């Protein structure tokens, strides 16, 4: 691994930061496959921006729902 983190970083913090990558990749895959992030076929910046904003809002809603009511979203 290459990193620009300070040389004196604690191993615990380094491992925590390394694991964040998995979470980001998981969320991005969910945005693409489950919420339609890549389905935009318009041509304008504002249209794309609206699409990404709505997909992100849907992802936030589902994440909040999972955290507060896991049984509702298939977590239990």
Q: What pLDDT, in 10s, does the model give residues 9-39?
A: 999 999 998 889 888 999 999 999 999 999 9
pLDDT grade for 5, boundaries at 50, 70 and 90: confident
Q: With cut-offs at 50, 70 and 90, classify the pLDDT of residue 73.
A: low
Evaluated on CA atoms 30, 31, 36, 40, the torsion sign reads negative
- In-domain check, residue 59: yes
In terms of residue numbers, what domain contains 58?
11-66
In a domain, 32, yes or no: yes
- Residue at 41 is within a domain: yes
Tally the domains of the chain.
Answer: 1
The pTM score is 0.68
Model confidence pLDDT, tens digit, residues 45-70 = 999 999 999 999 999 999 999 889 87
Q: How far is CA 58 from CA 17, 27, 64, in A?
A: 26, 12, 10
pLDDT of residue 38: 92
Residue 71 lies in a domain: no
């Amino acid at each position: 691994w290459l990193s620009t983190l300070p040389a004196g970083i604690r191993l615990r913090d380094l491992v925590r930061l390394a694991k964040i990558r998995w979470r980001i990749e998981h969320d991005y895959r969910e945005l693409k496959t489950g919420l339609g992030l890549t389905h935009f076929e318009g041509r304008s910046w504002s249209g794309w921006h609206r699409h990404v904003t709505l997909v992100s809002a849907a992802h936030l809603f589902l994440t909040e729902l999972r955290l507060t009511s896991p049984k509702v979203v298939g977590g239990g």
